Structure formats: C-alpha cells, structure tokens
Amino acid sequence: MLFGYILLFIALTISSAAAYYSIAGLTAIFAAAFWPIVIMGSVLELGKIATTVWLHKYWDRAPYQFKLYLVPAIAILMLITSMGIFGFLSKAHLDQAVPAGDVSAKVQIFDDKIKTLRDNIDADRKALKQMDAQVDEKLSRTTDDKGAERSVQIRRNQAGERKRIQDDITTSQNQITKLQEQRAPVASEARKVEAEVGPIKYIAALLYGDNPDANVLEKAVRWVIILLVLVFDPLALVLILAADQTFTWHREDKNKKEGWQQVWQPKTEAWPEWDEEPKKEEPNPIVEDPNGMSAEEFLDNLNQQAAAVEDNPTETKNKLLERELEAVKATAENLKKKFVSLLRNPLKK
C-alpha cells in the first residue's frame, strides 16, 4: 500500500511539473494573454487528469458517446501540454543560444579586424620586397660604378615610400596588439558559453558525425526536446492510472483476506460479562430438566407427550423435536456458564 502512495506522489509530481512547463511555454507563445493562459492551462490539466482516471475506472459502464468524445479530448490535451513543454524548452534553448551568438559575433568582429590589419602588413612587406628586388635587379645588370650609383639613387628615391610602409606596418602591429587585448575577455566569455552548450554538441556529433555546424546542432536540440515531450505528460498520466490500479488491487486483496478469515475463523458468541462474585450453584440431588422441572414433573410431561403422540403422531413428533432442540441449546448454555465459572474460580484465587 505504501508503494501505491509513493507511486501516486511521483505521478502527481511529474504531472505538476508537466503542467507548469506547459503553461510557461504557452504563456511564451501567447504572451499578450498571460493570466488567461495560466487559468485555462491549469483547469485543462486538472480536467485531463480527472477525465483519464474516470474513463479508466468506469470504462465498462461509460456510454459510447462519452468515450467517443473524451478519448480524443484527452489526446488533444496531451498534445497541447506537449506543445507547451516544447515551446518552453525551445525558448530556454534560444535564450541560451542568443548570448552565445552575440559573443561569437563580437569575437568574429575582432578576428576580422585583426585579419585585415595582417593582410595590410603582408601587402606592405610585399611592397618592400618589390623595392628590394628592383634595386637588386639594377645591381645585377651592371658591373661598373655607375650601376651602383644608380642603385643607390633608386633606394634614395624609395626612402619616403619605405618609411611610409614601415610606419604602416608598425601602426598595424600596434592595432593588432590592442585588438587582441580587447578580444581576450570576449573570447573567454565565448568559451564559457560554448562550455554550456557543449553537451548538445556531443549529442550532435554522436548523431551526425564530428564538427557539426549550427543547423545540425539545432536539429539535435529539437530531437532532444521531442524525446523529453514524449515521456513527460504520458508518463504522468500512466503513473496516475498505475497508482489507482494499485489501490484497487490492494482493496481486492484485503477483501479476499477478510473473506478467508470469515470462512476459517467464524465469529463466536460473546462471553458473558465478568461477575466479580459469581453465584455459587448448589448441587441438587434431584435431576432436573433443562427447563427447571423436577424429575416427577418431567416424567408426567413425558407421559402426556406420549399420549399426544398416539392421538397426532406427526405434529407431536415435530413439537417434540423442537423441544428437544431447545433443551440441547439450554444444556449447552448451562455447560458454557459452568465452564466460565470454573475458569474464573482459579483466576480469582
């Protein structure tokens, strides 16, 4: 019986949690009507549980028209509850995914800026290499002093451009350093958010392979929510029915046990009340009839009965049997009183 109460408590707990999450999800879908949705969802949840238990108990006696409506109604209410739970869990996932997306976007902005500056540095360094190649080419074509002077002249002409390029490289490097310093705390926050959504990544990797993209992650989240919905509200209703059936079985076992006790242990008549000072019965030398007659009176009565038997045998025989039965009962009662008296005397002593 205790297990039945535990089962009922668990069932009601799951049902209450399902109702709460369902109502929370429905209020998120219909945010403009918060309290009406709360009231409507609460009464529908109570009605669903009561209807399910009623159909389970009175299925054989319920009219066909009732079954025709109530069974689809319960299915629709379960669908509404599941939809509310799905909406609640989806909203929770989106509330978690939006900050992750914002943090990732910030990190991506820093990465893009750093990449642009590094590309500029690579371009400036490439320009410097081209200038060096121009001077080297000039020197390689001439072997006299004039060629060397021309090379020196070219380098002098490039001095301003070289200085500008070097300044650009230095400036870009300084900007990269500042951006990396600004990116560090944002990247740390991104790693924390990624750790929070890490489990779903492992689930997605298990289903769809390594390195899943954002779309695959969303599919994995939806499947997890669907699995939760399938075992939430249906499990609560089935456990409530199981608890009700447990109580029914317990009552049947109890009634069966009491029935066997009544068969094998019939109730006896109550013992006479206890008398502190029981009356002592004086022995009577004359044998008395159970009805209190003396022996002579008893013999006269027998003679009268014998004469009556001769006149009307059948009727008299029935009366005699009834009197004998009464006499037997009276004798048994006297024996019972004597037995009680014998038990009381040793106890009193």
What's the length of the chain? 349
> Per the structure block, which two tokens stand in for 51?
């209807």
Percent above pLDDT 70 for the chain: 70
Contact 252, 3 (CB under 8 A): no
Lowest mean pLDDT among 20-29, 101-110, 119-128, 245-254: 101-110
Tell me the per-residue pLDDT of 268-310, one tens digit each, with 9 for 90 and over: 444 455 554 555 554 444 444 445 555 666 667 767 766 665 6
Distances (CA, A) of 225 to 42, 44, 274: 22, 22, 74
Look at residue 283 in the predicted model and tell me its pLDDT.
47
Cα separation of 291 and 298, whole Å? 9
**How large is the average pLDDT for residues 83-107?**
78
Closest CA to 114 of 194, 187, 165: 187
> Is it the case that residue 205 has pLDDT exceeding 70?
no
Look at residue 287 in the predicted model and tell me its pLDDT.
44
**What is the DSSP track for 273-338?**
PP-SSPPPPPP-SS---TTS--HHHHHHHHHHHHHHHHHSHHHHHHHHHHHHHHHHHHHHHHHHHH
Distances (CA, A) of 220 to 197, 209, 214, 233, 294: 12, 12, 10, 21, 104
- The distance of Cα 228 from the centroid of its chain, to the nearest Å, equals 11
**What is the DSSP track for 109-146?**
HHHHHHHHHHHHHHHHHHHHHHHHHHHHHHHHH--SHH
- pTM of the prediction? 0.51
> Is it the case that residue 312 has pLDDT exceeding 80?
no
CB-based burial label for 61 (10 Å; 0-12, 13-18, 19+)? exposed
